[in-house]
Structure 1
Amino acid sequence: MRRTILPASALTGAAALTLALAGCGTDSGPAGPELSVSGAYMPQPVSADMAAGFLTITNKGGTRDRLTSVTSAVAGQVTMHSTVGGAMEEKTSFAVPAHGRLVFKSGGNHLMFERLKRKPEQGQRVTVKLTFARTGPLTVEMPVRSATYHPSTGN
């Protein structure tokens, strides 16, 4: 690991304190969350006011995180849901495990885009902002696929 050493005179009070505290740790502890998103898509909505969204969040880091909110300019509200045993339940957050994945897929966890401001059409992209408890937000471009699209077949 390469470290940069700055003279203490170059740092202001808060920066010096932050740097001093950062030096107190060791490199042997778990790495923070390292999040990435893959497989994002929205089936073309069949109604004018609601749509679903799916994606996978992968955490390669050694610390868990939590997805706490999702927003998009295309919808008045984006909510997160889980489906277990056929029952859908709205969630306020989802865990993203260390060295693991959080999967949003048809029939399971999913995003609901409510009060659509415009109906997304196949071939367009919808921008989504994912907010996490520990790491900064991630912005994702979600392609709009056919209403019957299934990721395992690509159709």
Structure 2
Amino acid sequence: MKRRRTTTLATALILATGLVLTGCSSGSDDKPRLNISGAFMPEPVMDDMAAGFLTIKNDSDVADKLTSVTSDIAGQVQIHQTKNQKMQEVTSFDIPANGELDLERGGNHMMFLKLKKKPNQGEKVSVELHFEKAGPIKAELPVKESTHNPAKQ
């Protein structure tokens, strides 16, 4: 009887330890896996502001949020939501697990205000995207012609 109780107790301890270790795991699924693609900035027609566009793909089971954008080229970069053809600044954009966030013409976008230098076609603008969970990610936005509008694939 004593042997059975010891075996049962040992089994219970092994199972409990396994559950605790699994719960404390710092595996790759704890942080979102984000990829940036399709980035561009149309050459600004005004000297003091510009827009930026890109797609953020989340290849993980963990949702995240884009909380801000910074760039040396602008005094301020805002993230804007477009609803009913009106844009307004927002504090963040959700990036769903196994989904994506599209910042595109006519929709949600980045707005570069108080430009320190007007970027010209052929140049690249560096940005740092700040996320709630993934941390900062740097990206380059090639400056395209002012009418550039890639087809959604």
Q: Unaligned 5+ residue runs, structure 2?
A: 1-19
Match in the other structure for 2:11: none
Match in the other structure for 2:3: none
Tell me the CA shift for residue 25 of structure 1: 3.6
| Kept after mapping to 2: 8 A contact 1:31/1:61 | no
Match in the other structure for 2:64: 65
Q: How does 1:105-144 map to 2 (within 5 A)?
A: 105-144=104-143
Over the matched positions of the two proteins, sequence identity in percent amounts to 48
Structure having the higher Rg: 2
Tell me the CA shift for residue 110 of structure 1: 0.5
Distance change >3 Å, CA 121–CA 59, structure 1 → 2: same
Q: How does 1:5-154 map to 2 (within 5 A)?
A: 24-25=23-24, 32-152=31-151
Q: Deviations over 1:111-149 (max 9, x none)?
A: 000000000000000000000010121000110000011
Residues of 2 paired with 1:74 and 1:141: CA distance? 12
- TM-score of the superposed pair, with normalisation by structure 2: 0.81
- TM-score of the superposed pair, with normalisation by structure 1: 0.80
Tell me the CA shift for residue 32 of structure 1: 3.0
Count of residues in Structure 1 that have an aligned counterpart in Structure 2? 133
Bigger shift: 26-35 or 64-73? 26-35
Structure 1 stretches of 4+ moved >6 Å: none
Tell me the CA shift for residue 85 of structure 1: 1.2
SS at match of 2:66: strand
| More helix, by proportion | 2
Tell me the CA shift for residue 60 of structure 1: 0.6
